[in-house]
Structure 1
Amino acid sequence: MAPVNKYQFLDYLESRVEGHLQEAIKIFQNEIEAVLLQAAPNGGWSIAQCLDHLNGYGHFYLPLIASELQKPQLKPASEIFKSSWLGSYFTRMMEPSTGTKKFKAFKNHVPPPNLDAPVVVAEFIQQQENLLAYLKQARHVDLDTIKLPLSITKLIKLKLGDVFQFLIAHNERHLLQAKRNLAPVVKNQTHTA
């Protein structure tokens, strides 16, 4: 990936997170629990499971991001961000437009079927609000020099900018999956009326 202006990059990521936040509030926040917990017609995850899966990643990455953002910066922050090849690869795998291959979730990220759906939705919304705040704070740090371990292995670290990109692409992927679960529910309800 070519170097990009950090501020434009963060603006773009903020707009995506704002969209995810608004969707979660509009579509899922007031949905009945039965709809949120209904498994996908193909046997896939329910809406609540999709969001719980994302919350699991948030539990890992958001505290690390918050901790790094609070550390004093040793040098002036660059106005440029350049994604690493590994960061670009992981992001492309998760982006709905470029990552069309399906992946099996890592064992520690598989959500249980019995969830308190309203709590899961509320937590997802809170995490998106936190992520927005961290993106705003990131304007004052160097996105290239701060590195965070991956949730699957502490041996590999990604640049903060890459972690933001990956998380947001991953959120988008599973929000689309969750929204696909709504169409069959609506169709079934209209047939029974």
Structure 2
Amino acid sequence: MNTLDQISRTVENQKHTVISALVPLELALLNFKPASDSWSILECLEHLNRYSRYYNPALAKAITANSGNNSQQSISYSWLGKKSLDMVRPDNSKKSKTVRHMNPNNSQLSRQTLEEFLDHQTELLQLLNKAKNTNLNKKAIPVEFFKLLKLRIGEALEFMALHQERHLQQALQVKKQLPVNQAAA
């Protein structure tokens, strides 16, 4: 299985996890915070939505501009790409400071956050499919918080999936901490 297929499978699993484990929860539980400085389930998803609002259009533009004959399906990693991926890997237990405009702490969120997340996943899966005819090693995705730096298309696609996995695991940890009498619902 190639890298894009692996990333697509990861994103499909993430979408399924949200539908099966999080969508059925009541709004109060989705907004439950285990501690004042931690994120609720919806805040985890809103953080990912903020990234998707930036990266999905950037990826769409880059994939369209770099489709065609020079398709390169294996990803070679730049220093920036390796560093970015290592930072967001779910098994990296080191907390990262979130840039202010990407931090949803204490946001008023509704079920719309879930719907938007699922829409972004559908869009990302379509982008992964389109990327099969693209040079994945083209440096074309400006880093959100420092646009002079660019990730390769393949690195950015993998970053999205790993970053999402990290925060979905965080959301599932919050779910485990929900008040017992309500979480079983």
- TM-score, normalisation: structure 1: 0.88
Say if 2:63 and 2:131, in contact at 8 Å, map to a contact too: yes
Q: 2:109 aligns with which of 104, 107, 116?
A: 116
Aligned residue number for residue 140 of structure 1:
133
In structure 1, the partner of 2:123 is 130
SS at match of 1:80: coil
One of 164, 184, 188 as aligned partner of 2:177: 184
Aligned ranges 1:26-37 → 2 under 5 Å: 26-37=20-31
SS of the residue corresponding to residue 151 of structure 2 reads strand
Runs of 4+ in 1 over 3 A off after TM superposition: 72-75
Considering only CA atoms, is the larger Rg found in Structure 1 or Structure 2? 1
Counterpart of 2:46 in structure 1 is 52
Q: Structure 1 residues 72, 13: closer, same or farther in 2, change over 3 A?
A: closer
Structure 2: stretches of 5+ with no match in the other structure: none
User: 1:41 touches 1:181 (CA, 8 Å); kept in 2?
Assistant: no
1:3 equivalent in structure 2:
none
Separation (CA, whole Å) in 1 of partners of 2:73 and 2:90: 28
Kept in 1, the 8 Å contact 2:52–2:120? The answer is yes
Identity %: 29
Deviations 1:47-67 (A, max 9, x none): 010000000000110011112
Superposed, 1:69-108 pairs within 5 Å as 69-71=63-65, 73=67, 75-97=69-91, 99-108=92-101
Give the superposition deviation at 1:96: 1.2
Question: Closer, same or farther in 2 for the Cα pair 1:114/1:154, shift >3 Å?
Answer: closer
| TM-score after normalising by structure 2 | 0.91
1:143-169 per-residue CA deviation (whole Å, 9 max, x = no partner) reads 011511001101100101111111111
| Alpha-carbon distance change, 13 to 73 in structure 1, aligned in 2, over 3 angstroms | closer
Contact 2:12 2:125 in 1 (8 A): yes
1:16 aligns with 2:10: yes
Match of 1:68 among 59, 62, 78: 62
Contact 2:66 2:135 in 1 (8 A): no
The 10-residue stretch of structure 1 (103-112 or 126-135) with the greater mean CA deviation from structure 2: 103-112
